[in-house]
Structures are given as C-alpha cells and as structure tokens.
Amino acid sequence: MEEQTLKVQKIRNGIVIDHIPCGMALKVLKILNINGDIGSTVSLVMHVKSRMGCKDVVKIEDRFLDEREIDKIALIAPTATVNVIENYKVVNKHKVELPDEIVGIVKCMNPRCITNQREPVVSEFKVISKNPVILKCKYCEREMGVEDIIENIL
C-alpha cells in the first residue's frame, strides 16, 4: 500500500480528489475544465491498488472547488473523497454526496425538452438511482445514465 501511495508527491496547497472509481480521472479533469492551459501543477494516477480494489487519484495544486464542482464530481465519481490541503496537511476531508435533485448542472439530452427551447427554464433532474447514477428530467421525464450525463454536463 505504502509503495502505491508514494507514486505521486504530496502537495503543499490545493486539493486531492481521492477514491475516484478506476478509469474516471480524466473525466473528472474534463468536468473541472482542466486542460493543458492550467498554470498550476496537476498530478494524476490511474489504476492504483486500494482497499476497494482499484482507484484513480487527482491532485491539483493551488486550486479549490465550489459546491457546483463538487456536485459534478459526485455525479460521475460517487465514491470520491475531496481533501483540502494546506501547508502539506489535510485540513478538510469529505466524501462527495449526490443530492436528490440536480439543478442547472446537466443539460437534458432530449432536444425537444422545454429546457432546450429558447425559454428561461433551468434544467432539473430527480436522482432516481445513485448506483449506477440515473437522472430523470423533471420536465420531459427522459432518463439519463452516466455516459449521457458526462456528455451533457454544463
């Protein structure tokens, strides 16, 4: 275990998103809009052996997350833990938690849905299953699974 966790350096300040389901790290970076233009250091490990079998870890220096970003992570990586690091210490650790309703974070995949017309209607979904995640549009009742959600995250 020690050997595995030492693969990537500890960070001084920033966030560590730990216990991401195996293979989802790149998607986490995508929904946080992190690409090659970021000015700070990002480290990423995929397929690390862990208690639960296998996990990915993303470390982003000098970056913090707002509620909306944490909800987005919960949608695609429901087992993730967000650790806030200050001066090398974990000052805050919490598991992401999927709310019962998702408002304004995912675009409905039904092109005819009222939320996709030129109306000022914010998308709203009910979380009808948490594992695997399934959302149901409050307006048109279209159901969306994880792959659909990733494609339509706002």
> Which among ligand CTP, Zn ion, none contacts residue 140 (Cβ within 5 to 8 A by kind)?
Zn ion
When asked if residue 55 is in the footprint of ligand CTP (CB under 6 A), the reply is: no
CB nearer ligand CTP, residue 26 or residue 122: 26
Q: Which residues pair with 18 in a beta bridge?
A: 81
**Which residues are within 8 A (CB) of 9 and not within 5 positions of it... i.e. 6 or more apart?**
43
Residue 65 structure tokens: 């997350």
When asked if residue 90 is in the footprint of ligand CTP (CB under 6 A), the reply is: yes
Q: What are phi and psi of 26, to 5 degrees?
A: -65, -35
Residue of the chain from 73, 85, 102, 144 that contacts ligand CTP (CB under 6 A):
85
CB nearer ligand CTP, residue 11 or residue 25: 11
> Which among Zn ion, ligand CTP, none contacts residue 11 (Cβ within 5 to 8 A by kind)?
ligand CTP
> Which among ligand CTP, Zn ion, none contacts residue 135 (Cβ within 5 to 8 A by kind)?
none
62: amino acid identity, one letter? D
**Cα–Cα distances in Å, from 87 out to 11, 13, 57?**
8, 6, 19
Q: What is the DSSP letter of 119?
A: S
Residue of the chain from 24, 32, 48, 57 that contacts ligand CTP (CB under 6 A):
57
60: exposed, middle or buried (C-beta count within 10 Å: 0-12, 13-18, 19+)?
A: buried
CB nearer ligand CTP, residue 92 or residue 117: 92
- Residue ranges at the known binding site for Zn(2+): 108, 113, 137, 140
- Residue ranges at the known binding site: 108, 113, 137, 140
